[in-house]
A = this chain, B = another copy of it.
Amino acid sequence: MKLKVKDMDIATGGVLIAILNIEDAKRFDLYPEDRITIRKGKKMTTAVVNVAESRKAVSPGKIGLFEEVIGKIKAKQGDNVDIDIQEKPKSIALIKKKLDGHSLTAKETDTIVKHIVQGRLTDIELAYYIASGYMKPLELGEIVALTKSMVKYGGHLKFNKKFIIDKHCSGGVPGNRTTMILVPILAAAGLTMPKTSSRSITSPAGTADTMEVLAPVSQSLDKIKKIVKKTNGCIVWGGAVDLAAADDKMIRVRHSMSIDPEGMLLSSILAKKAAVGSTHVLIDIPLGKDTKIKTKKEAVHLKRMFIKIGKRLGMKVKVIITDGTEPIGNGSGPVLEARDALYIFRRDEKRPLDLEKKSVMMAAEIMKMVGIKDAKKKARQILDSGIAYVKMKEIIKAQGGNPDIDPDKLRLGKYSYTYKSPKSGTIYDIDNITIAKMARIAGAPRDKEAGVYLYKHERQKVKRGEKIFTIYSDSKVKLNYALNILKRRGGITIG
């Protein structure tokens, strides 16, 4: 059957959509979510049918195509196309199998991942897949298969090195930017660390947002390869290289319900490590009341899973469970966190010692994994001697940034408010969520110069009137909103 193209001028970001008028849909016995093939000359694609109930959107005889479909068959407004009914993709029956509580073979999982990446599954079908993995956790073999297929159908990198190292943090601790310190130390120690990081979703800054203060982080796979060849390391944004393309599509569907099925979460993390050829991976699981992983039991279970799956993927994984009860480092927000990192490299007296200590410990753990002796001493020396700073400058330069940036000249939000202690005493609690919310409402991570800077940490003594933190924002209104959070939630407990 022939129809005339209407260019809908809408992009879904993945799924291939074609809209038919309800009269044509009835005539062809098509229903929303049915699949059709659309052919223009020798070009062909499949698409998912939506139905327009009014003639306004798409009139009979026409077919409304979204940008992804237009692109695939190079169609223009008014072109004639042929459409045909298509059988549903096999992956739908496989998702049904998961809903029925069965496990899938590696080949079956591979079919699902392939179809996700090809845009052949709708968001509804993806939601069913994710729900199945949430209500009945994937088996170990399924997680391994999912991870391998995610790597297969995404971008990947290969370095001819014996050791490729990586790290991951499960999150929930403001300011915990160890990657910024770890990569230069380890690269200076001669290890290869092609580190891809994420941007923030719910925190004041992701590592990618922070590094972006110092250098561009959206790099192509080719460029990453060059940077790492030159410097042994990089700190780039993973989202720019589609390391696990299927995962990006699944995250969108998980977002609205805020569910992270365990197996899919593990796959998502490890696929990105496998995609850059990692041989040794350190995973940091901070534990605290507001961290992503909340109980020791959960942390120990995850630790076991990470190690097992890593083994099946040929990666050595070490997991450390760390203290996540209060923010780490002084700054929360991209510029403040980047400044903390530079203070550490420059051995500035304003450097946050907690972040430095944790980073050196983690660097040493990784060095031990690959058999380096006296690891802690060596890591400390690389940092103390300024070698790490030289390496950081090399990486900043290789990524296209300015290596000579002065941390004290980084611009901060033009409005600020400094909270001072209402009494003398000891700080018992600094609430992660309050700090993160204040920083976000002040504008972070979108406004890089917004955030919260802490002068004090838990268990320290303060005098009445002494500074505890400063909020920075480019907007007076946002600054006031941020302060409201403190009033409403509390967040600093002094006793």
Residues of B within 8 A of A259 (CB): 96, 99, 128
Tell which of A38-46, A130-138, A352-360, A428-436 binds the partner. Answer: A130-138
Chain B nearest CB from A101 CB (Å) reads 7
Q: Determine the distance from Cα of A15 to Cα of B119 in the docked complex, in whole angstroms.
A: 22
Tell which of A149-157, A163-171, A250-258, A385-393 binds the partner. Answer: A250-258
Checking B57, B128, B136 against A11 with a beta-carbon cut-off of 8 angstroms, the contacting residue is B57
- Interface flag for A381 (CB, 8 Å): no
Tell which of A47-55, A289-297, A320-328 binds the partner. Answer: A47-55
Contact B9 A57 (CB under 8 A): yes
- Interface flag for A19 (CB, 8 Å): yes
Residue among A9, A19, A122, A128 having the largest count of chain B Cβ atoms under 10 Å: A128
Chain B nearest CB from A415 CB (Å) reads 18
Q: Interface size on A (CB < 8 Å)?
A: 49
Contact B96 A257 (CB under 8 A): yes
Residues of B within 8 A of A256 (CB): 33, 88, 92, 122, 124-125
- Interface flag for A400 (CB, 8 Å): no
Residues of B within 8 A of A132 (CB): 131, 135
Contact A56 B9 (CB under 8 A): yes
Contact B125 A124 (CB under 8 A): no
- Interface flag for A420 (CB, 8 Å): no
Residues of B within 8 A of A9 (CB): 56-57
Contact A67 B92 (CB under 8 A): no
Checking B50, B51, B124, B134 against A99 with a beta-carbon cut-off of 8 angstroms, the contacting residue is B134
Chain B nearest CB from A56 CB (Å) reads 5
Residues of B within 8 A of A57 (CB): 8-11, 67
Q: Determine the distance from Cα of A31 to Cα of B31 in the docked complex, in whole angstroms.
A: 28
Q: Determine the distance from Cα of A25 to Cα of B101 in the docked complex, in whole angstroms.
A: 38
Q: Determine the distance from Cα of A454 to Cα of B253 in the docked complex, in whole angstroms.
A: 49
Q: Determine the distance from Cα of A252 to Cα of B135 in the docked complex, in whole angstroms.
A: 22
15 contacts between A and B (CB under 8 A): A9-B56, A10-B19, A12-B50, A13-B51, A26-B446, A29-B440, A99-B135, A101-B135, A123-B123, A123-B124, A124-B126, A125-B127, A125-B256, A127-B127, A131-B131
